[in-house]
Structure 1
Amino acid sequence: MGRHDDVLDELVRDRYPALLARARMLTQDPVAAQDLVQDALVATFAGRARFTAVQAAEQYVRRALATRYVDGLRRRGRERAGVERLAALPADVAPDPADTPTRLADDVEAALGALTPQQRACVVLRHVEDLSVHETARLLHLSDGAVKRYTSDAVRALGVLLGARPPVDPEVPVHLVPTPEARRG
């Protein structure tokens, strides 16, 4: 077994729960999230890329999660099918008490589920994965402006859904602190 296989083993052993959590933010379905992680791992380690460090492999897999998620949406039209399923539910169906959110993570997951897939992908890539607007646009095959719009709309919707309140005094003073390089002149 080579170092490449060791990296895969270590990645799955140590980082699988984190990868699964990221996939679940995108898919909103635990089974689909597992499938997405599996697809991303296979795509990453079956390709030509060779990794000698788990951190590099994990970054690659995390980006593959987003790419595979968006590609899946395009191929199967999941957004349309999801809307049709929700529309078919009777309005008076009570939620199962076992599914009632009990933690902030559950509330966030439910709020993410209320976003469109494009909004969800943009906000996860921008604010969870910490990608730039340009990197997100390139990954999702969107314009920079579309990423900004989807992200802005998603953040606003999440604020409403999660009951976030704007600060009482939006005029917070900002004090610039010179960097060590600027102090040296």
Structure 2
Amino acid sequence: MTRPPTDAEFSEMVRASWPSLYRTAYLLLGDAAEAEDLVQSALTKTYASWSKVRCVDAGPGYARTVMLNTATSWFRRRSWRNERPTEVLPEAATCSDEALRPTLLDALSRLAPRQRAVVVLRFYEDMSVAETAAALAVHEGTVKSQTSQALRRLRALLADDVVTVASTGGPHD
């Protein structure tokens, strides 16, 4: 019989997983404070079930699944997305072209929550269709259709900005 994982092993898993979980949460929610809240909620729920984890190596994946399920439940609440204007866009996400980052984050924020989740998992987390479907507890066909709709929407939102950045080297040169 295997022993349950220790609190020290949970702490180590949190230290190792936090950056990745936070980046994913930020891309899902588009808000730094909400992303931190989501990761904290997910880690709290993960800790509550930590004694049931059979393999410590499964901890980060379990925490990510809990985080995605928690985000999905937040998306279902009517009050989850109250607009809060801000003058400064947080710089926590990564993008290879710094000039394009705000444009991409803005376009991503305009997607429906499930579409945003699918795009983040498929293209940022590099998950397969099957892995994304399992993480979101939906059918693979749903992942494919949501991906198609999200990419169509992103192409429409980004068409002019991406062409401008690609041809001039900056968004408004």
TM-score (norm 2): 0.70
Structure 2 partner of 1:77: 78
Quote the residue 1:182 is aligned against. Answer: none
Larger Cα-atom Rg = 1
After TM superposition, give the deviation of residue 160 of structure 1 in Å: 3.7
Counterpart in the other structure of 2:167: none
Q: Which runs of 5+ in 1 are unaligned?
A: 90-94, 166-185
Is 1:49 the equivalent of 2:49? no
Query: Percent identity over the alignment?
Result: 35
Given that residues 89 and 102 in structure 2 are in contact (C-alpha distance below 8 angstroms), is that contact kept between their aligned partners in structure 1? Answer: no
Gap runs ≥5 in structure 2? 92-96, 164-173
Q: Count residues in correspondence.
A: 151
Q: 2:105 aligns with which of 109, 128, 135?
A: 109
- Mark the CA change 1:118 to 1:36 in structure 2 (over 3 Å): closer, same or farther: same
**Is the CA contact (8 Å cut-off) linking 1:7 and 1:51 kept in structure 2?**
no
Deviations 1:113-165, CA, capped at 9 Å, x for gaps? 11010100111222233333344334434333222111111123223434456
Q: Deviations over 1:153-181 (max 9, x none)?
A: 1123223434456xxxxxxxxxxxxxxxx
Partner of 1:14: 16
Amino acid at match of 1:145: G
Q: Please say if residues 32 and 90 of structure 2, whose CA atoms lie closer than 8 Å, have aligned partners that are also in contact.
A: no
Between the aligned partners of 1:6 and 1:52, the Cα distance in structure 2 is 14
1:108 and 1:5, CA in 2 relative to 1: closer, same or farther beyond 3 A?
A: farther
Per chain length, whose mean CA-contact separation is higher, i.e. which structure has more relative contact order (CA < 8 Å, sep 6+)? 2
Instruction: Verify the 8 A CA contact 1:7 1:57 in the aligned structure 2.
Output: no
4+ runs deviating over 6 angstroms:
none
The answer to whether the Cα contact below 8 Å between 2:132 and 2:143 also exists between their aligned partners in 1 is: yes
Rounded Cα–Cα distance in structure 2 between residues aligned with 1:78 and 1:125: 24
| CA distance in structure 1 between the aligned counterparts of 2:22 and 2:104, rounded to whole angstroms | 16
1:38/1:120 Cα in 2 relative to 1: closer, same or farther (>3 Å)?
Answer: same
Whether 1:25 aligns to 2:27 is yes
Partner Cα separation in structure 1 for residue 53 and residue 129 of structure 2: 27
Quote the offset at 1:52 in angstroms: 4.9
**Equivalent residues in 2 for 1:84-123, closer than 5 Å:** 85=83, 96=87, 98-99=88-89, 103=98, 104-123=100-119
Shift of 1:78: 4.8
CA distance in 1, matches of 2:90, 2:13: 32
1:155 counterpart = 2:151: yes
Give the secondary structure class of the aligned counterpart of 2:52.
Answer: coil
| Cα distance in 1, alignment partners of residues 14 and 43 from structure 2 | 9
